[in-house]
Structure 1
């Protein structure tokens, strides 16, 4: 298999305004590598993808690619013409004859992604449907280098699993950013980690990267312990005074300066989630015979559920089945056609929406939070100012003065997460919380939800997040909901078992003889 270098970055740096995002990157991409990029929100993941895709130019350095290299790029938020129809959007500029001959290829990939109405304008599609169309556009071009920025955002689980299998088998080079840890682990054979503008390359998949990072941290701790011991020894020597010796050799003083300045530990600020919450009452939340339609489209009917203390429920189903609509009905943002919602007197909701409220781009980070609360109580009763709470959410003093319009998509999501949770609700509702958040923030959110004493209701396509955080599933099936005890992996086992049972029953069923009976016994 050819493993030639197909694209090279040489001393590449990129600044946005006065902020240097990427610093002196030099590396190559080889044919057939499948590279996952990780790093905290705002570290430059999307910027690096755009540099490689030639969407933007580096501030310094060069990006050089093989002369005949064909690149396909799926941005996180593609710009589209709302009037153009689906098929025209994904087809390249072809002659009428070529377009007629090759249209079946494009229709085939769209159908596999669940898009069957090829003449629909993009403007009337849902976010999930548009994502599928844009994904199809990237895949059908048969690129040598496929670049994907958060490809699983807005996709349903069946589509994610199909895409995962497709990319595993694809004999091309793939460069991608994703928060989906199962997806990342299954596809990647290289991990690029961006940290403080620099890039660290790890051979292997995401699990290998995590193991290697832990080993590096253990090694750094060992070196730091040795440094501290040396420093203590040198300081004791210098502290003996002139009576112990006639002079203090210069090299001892220099050694102390070196040891003080050289720490092997990387000081990573950690996001800290901690809010004071009230106890839930006897009645938490009751859903009674809920039904909802839009016109002639029935989403669901007769949904019943009485929530129990500390219940953690995940909601899954295909795009457009009514998951977000159900959340909006529960929070009172929408009315059901039939049925009722009864929340307990002590039940207080925090609702993190998939499409966060509109931000005023000219508002500062600090002013955005301070307009809701200038003082916030933590779980241990500590009263924090808005500025102190922002510090805990990794917005330092400088970032607090930044305008919202200057933040990355992930940084805005982290800020919106703070705004959603900071009032100390005891019933958390999350609609696709993993979209655009970096993996480390997700891990800390998962830790917070582990210790959370209230109820959790979450819509998510992130299989790892569901496995970690929930113990019960609502599965949309047609217009009804099936309730499954367990997490997402438990559901897959249940689903596989039932499919195998049905297959065995089908094989065991006697074939019906449809020939007319002759009435002759023999």
Structure 2
């Protein structure tokens, strides 16, 4: 197979620190390569560089045609087939072939693309990606919006393909499909033969070794400082002995000054040697822990309310074009509940949240009610723009509290002045999430909060929820996250 080659690659966005500094890589196009790293480390940027969409210095040689997911669609209001044909050149039978391999109903092609669920949109665009069987695929976050069954179906589908690079923050998904892993860490890029678990194990061992070495160096440096201070104190006292008593009759100081001075000089030299050794130890310590990731707990601005029930649903049902999305459902959300709304892709989970927000455009039956509450909304897809300071002012958010959570989420200070639309999708999601966290709220209503978040941030968010205990109604497809934070699960089932 062909090899993608990068030599002396350098790239940075204007006003920001370099993302890539003299990078050299050789990537075989037969690999199923997982591209991993914290948000903002340059994963999507690397894919854009491979596609020659950004200016850089160095050399990038790509000997094959490339296809990219997610493809931009000029008119998502069209029927799915026509919307996809406007984005790429293919025959209908080629798309149907890929949809069938993925277990996807070809009838979706005759529904408006924008009427499909997020998971259905993801799958048809993945099918579009592989209509060109000769191209090498670059796949950016394919598991967003996919339920567990769909992730398994997509994983089985991708395992059949010849080669690709995939960005994902779902470790189980990466383990299922990848045979190589490229990790963009804080100060280096590492290539591993194996899936995500192979990388994670090697990274954990390296971090543990560096932390142990760091502790040892800390102790050595403290010991050397103490010894150096003692020797400095002794040499200074000898200097006083040498000159301080020379006029005292019978002291003998004058006769002993040569011996005292020579000994003090030896001690002084030992102290200088200790200082040089400390400098070497400190330099060695600075080289450690550069790639160890640390996260701090987030602040969730929860506000108590006197109402005993925040959301009441009684035989509630939504319909779109006279087709019920799910069977009638009844539930209550009371203060302190963390309610997960689950069900397969396309069943109407996001639509129910939209109905709560009075943004659903279809029809409804039954009762869905709530008292006058302060809500924290987090949409499934974020489209933010402008400066972060302007965004905070427009939404009446505490700017410093917003920046504080953004720092804890790992957004670099240099990104605070970057227009939001120029940030990576993961960084944009962090802005939306930080805004939801600092919004004073009785009830948090979050639609797929883990989308685009790296694994460290996912764990950070779960720990913060468990600590702050907000009242929460949320949609999420990550079962481990649901098991960890939900106090109640509401399952939507297909309408009869």
Tell me the TM-score normalised to structure 2 length: 0.80
Is the contact between residue 12 and residue 58 of structure 1 (CA under 8 Å) also seen in structure 2?
no
Aligned counterpart in structure 1 of residue 367 of structure 2, from 336, 340, 343 = 340
| 2:386 pairs with 1:368 | no
Question: Match for residue 420 of structure 1?
Answer: 436
| 2:81 pairs with 1:86 | yes
Describe how 1:99-248 pairs up with structure 2 within 5 A: 103-111=92-100, 112-118=103-109, 127-143=118-134, 145-168=136-159, 170=160, 172-196=162-186, 198-239=188-229, 240-241=231-232, 242=235, 243=238, 245-246=264-265, 247-248=268-269
Is the contact between residue 157 and residue 461 of structure 1 (CA under 8 Å) also seen in structure 2?
yes
Question: Match for residue 29 of structure 1?
Answer: 27
Aligned residue for 2:19, secondary structure, equals strand
Aligned counterpart in structure 1 of residue 454 of structure 2, from 424, 434, 438 = 438
- The whole-number CA distance in structure 2 between the counterparts of 1:473 and 1:426 is 19
How far off is 1:199 after superposition? 1.0
Aligned length: 454
- The whole-number CA distance in structure 2 between the counterparts of 1:154 and 1:45 is 20
Task: Go from structure 1 to structure 2 and tell me whether the alpha carbon gap of 1:91 and 1:424 turns closer, same or farther (over 3 Å shift).
Answer: closer
| 2:347 pairs with 1:321 | yes
- The whole-number CA distance in structure 1 between the counterparts of 2:304 and 2:80 is 52
- The whole-number CA distance in structure 2 between the counterparts of 1:253 and 1:339 is 78
| 2:300 pairs with 1:275 | yes
Task: Go from structure 1 to structure 2 and tell me whether the alpha carbon gap of 1:370 and 1:393 turns closer, same or farther (over 3 Å shift).
Answer: farther
Question: Match for residue 7 of structure 1?
Answer: 4
- The whole-number CA distance in structure 2 between the counterparts of 1:114 and 1:464 is 28
- The whole-number CA distance in structure 2 between the counterparts of 1:171 and 1:386 is 43
Q: List gaps (5 residues or longer) in structure 2.
A: 239-262
| 2:56 pairs with 1:59 | yes
- The whole-number CA distance in structure 1 between the counterparts of 2:374 and 2:149 is 33
The alignment yields a C-alpha RMSD, in angstroms, of: 3.2
Q: Which deviates more, 172-181 or 297-306?
A: 297-306
How far off is 1:149 after superposition? 0.6
Task: Go from structure 1 to structure 2 and tell me whether the alpha carbon gap of 1:432 and 1:289 turns closer, same or farther (over 3 Å shift).
Answer: same
Question: Match for residue 254 of structure 1?
Answer: 276
Deviations 1:422-466 (A, max 9, x none): 134343221121222222211111112223424332222334433
- The whole-number CA distance in structure 2 between the counterparts of 1:110 and 1:186 is 20
Question: Match for residue 38 of structure 2?
Answer: 40
- The whole-number CA distance in structure 1 between the counterparts of 2:94 and 2:412 is 50
How far off is 1:108 after superposition? 3.0
Q: List gaps (5 residues or longer) in structure 1.
A: 377-383, 481-522
Aligned residue for 2:457, secondary structure, equals helix
Is the contact between residue 333 and residue 339 of structure 2 (CA under 8 Å) also seen in structure 1?
no
Question: Match for residue 400 of structure 1?
Answer: 416
Q: Which deviates more, 385-394 or 104-113?
A: 385-394
How far off is 1:136 after superposition? 0.9
Task: Go from structure 1 to structure 2 and tell me whether the alpha carbon gap of 1:202 and 1:280 turns closer, same or farther (over 3 Å shift).
Answer: farther
Deviations 1:127-184 (A, max 9, x none): 544433321111232246332111122344433221111223x252221001223212
Tell me the TM-score normalised to structure 1 length: 0.77
Question: Match for residue 486 of structure 1?
Answer: none
- The whole-number CA distance in structure 2 between the counterparts of 1:120 and 1:278 is 42
- The whole-number CA distance in structure 1 between the counterparts of 2:340 and 2:401 is 33
| 2:289 pairs with 1:265 | yes
How far off is 1:421 after superposition? 1.8
Aligned residue for 1:140, secondary structure, equals coil
- The whole-number CA distance in structure 1 between the counterparts of 2:79 and 2:445 is 36
Task: Go from structure 1 to structure 2 and tell me whether the alpha carbon gap of 1:450 and 1:202 turns closer, same or farther (over 3 Å shift).
Answer: farther
- The whole-number CA distance in structure 1 between the counterparts of 2:75 and 2:355 is 32
Aligned residue for 1:283, secondary structure, equals coil
Deviations 1:48-100 (A, max 9, x none): 12223x2435612222244xx4543223x524355686177299757xxxx5x
- The whole-number CA distance in structure 2 between the counterparts of 1:134 and 1:164 is 15
Richer in helix (by share): 2
- The whole-number CA distance in structure 1 between the counterparts of 2:357 and 2:342 is 18
- The whole-number CA distance in structure 1 between the counterparts of 2:80 and 2:312 is 43
**Which has more radius of gyration?**
2
How far off is 1:372 after superposition? 4.0
Is the contact between residue 180 and residue 191 of structure 2 (CA under 8 Å) also seen in structure 1?
yes
- The whole-number CA distance in structure 2 between the counterparts of 1:303 and 1:324 is 14
Aligned residue for 2:324, secondary structure, equals strand
Is the contact between residue 29 and residue 163 of structure 2 (CA under 8 Å) also seen in structure 1?
yes
Is the contact between residue 180 and residue 464 of structure 1 (CA under 8 Å) also seen in structure 2?
no
